[in-house]
Structure 1
Amino acid sequence: MTAAAVGLSHSPLIGKNDPSPEVRAAVETAVDDARSFVRDFDPELVVLYAPDHYNGFFYKEMPPFCLATEATSVGDFGSVAGPLSVDTEAARALARGALERGVDLTVSARMTVDHGFVQPLEVLFGGIDKVPVVPVFVNGVATPLGPVSRIRALGTALGEAAAGLDRRVLFLGSGGLSHDPPVPVLDGAPPRVADALIEGHPPTPEQRARGEERVICAGREYAAGSTTMIPLNPGWDNLVLDTLERGSLADVDDWSVEWMAAEGGGSAHEVRTWIAAFASLAATGSYRMTSRFYAPVPEWIAGFAVAVAQQETGR
């Protein structure tokens, strides 16, 4: 088996509320480098770890993580709608492998995903149907959140299971680092909002458009400094990246849910997708991070990062 990993931040505000041309150019260069790496690696399978933003998973049933044997995008924030090219047989094999290794993995035969899954596939591959993929939802916002050690265990189990497939596998983590966007919270929510968060009523096109416009406006206010959202935290973001680069993944077992939110904001737990992806790669052998980019981008309400890692030579 040959394996690699990419961590890539996403934001629904890209192209809608952009930073200065200099920052955007730096981001594009980093993304181009990752795209070139992926093209040269030519994965036969992508195991994609990504969060949801109350488009596919709701409080009626909220697993800490879930693997899909089929998945369809809702097309939020202008992302592509429709089915992902899920490798169902590989997905079933990975699910069995995780369960055999003691990870209580939920499986969805009809997962709904949003821009968190779609954006990295569009950015790196040019579409949601260009490469066989196994989507893995990792909860990063809906409380209560479990210990980070279980996310590392998930990534390790799926990495070990993937090694048995004897294919070129890319483990891809999709998530912002520090960020505190205006995500609805169940506790204290008005009855109408609480019902939507629990039952998952699909919004009308008008409701979706209004919700997306609120996020765009929040990004503009955040960049202008007139907001109550927690500031981006480059120090914490680089601690996360340092930990992944060193390969000292066991360190994350001591990261508490409360500490991560205090340091990185309400949606900082999206870094769990990165932890899972790099734990999967580490499960196949030692690795080295070959490129790393980071920039705090308040216009996107995100500590934005791109990182690439591959197995050490000789493995």
Structure 2
Amino acid sequence: MESSFPAYEVIIVGGSAAGLSAALLLGRSLRRLLVIDNGKPANRQTPHSHSFLTRDGISPTELNTIAREQALAYPTVRLIDDTAVTATQHATGFSVTTETGNTYRADRIVLATGLKDELWPIPGFAECWGISVLHCPYCHGYEVHGQALGILANGDAAFEMSRLIYHWSPRLTLFTNGPSTLSVEQAEKLQKHQIEIIETPITEIPHQNGQLSGLLLADQTHYPLTALFSRPPIVQASDLARQLGCVHNELGFVQVDDFGRTSIPGVFAAGDTHTMMRQVVVAAANGLRTAAMINKELIDEYFN
């Protein structure tokens, strides 16, 4: 059904760091905007986020709660808890239809829908994700530095992750979860740094409330660990960008310029949708920069 609400100048799909940062600046710019958010950010299990100046250690949930309050303090900002399922371009702008059947119209769209991790189907992996199974040492490495850490990866990715994580802790074991695809040279370099390579498949990640105690292997060996680093495949959390015809790069990210403009005029992307830098502070900066460009475009249109 068609929404009874008037057309907006901007619709922001996604109400996490990038989307709310954009909403805050646009609200302060007196723009009429709608944020559509389903409350399922990729970091929703993560107890703490880090490296955000003045907010180091705050939980992503608390950060989003504060961000919502601050963005919604501006009267031209509206937020609905819903999932955007379709997006369509029209001669005079764009429309977005939600899971509940409402349709909203705007002059510009910001896609801040983020990424989705396709978690490995190992019992315990999903429950520990973001808590003790980690993807980023810049986000979580300090808290486990110097401790017994594992890496779940293989081939070139395993080698690069091992080099990276070794900086935080030399007490490192690489689990390839099957036959190693490392090159001879890569394996020799890891062994030179006393990084053990274990090829036995992983059968389970024993844990308590997401905090793993180690890895249980197919030969019934239990390897005690404090944390496990892994980077499972990532995909776009929403296909709205593809629905609108936005160009994606070879890695599957939405292609944008320095201000978040996609290949479709009027469609912007912010946050994880277009970058591998999955830090909260980066997403927030992306959102602000994108919002500033949107406001400039609207001024250019209206003041001519």
What's the TM-score, normalizing by structure 1?
A: 0.33
What's the TM-score, normalizing by structure 2?
A: 0.34
Larger-Rg structure: 2
Greater RCO, 1 or 2 (C-alpha within 8 Å, sep 6+): 1
- Structure with the higher helix share, 1 or 2: 1
- Structure with the higher strand share, 1 or 2: 2
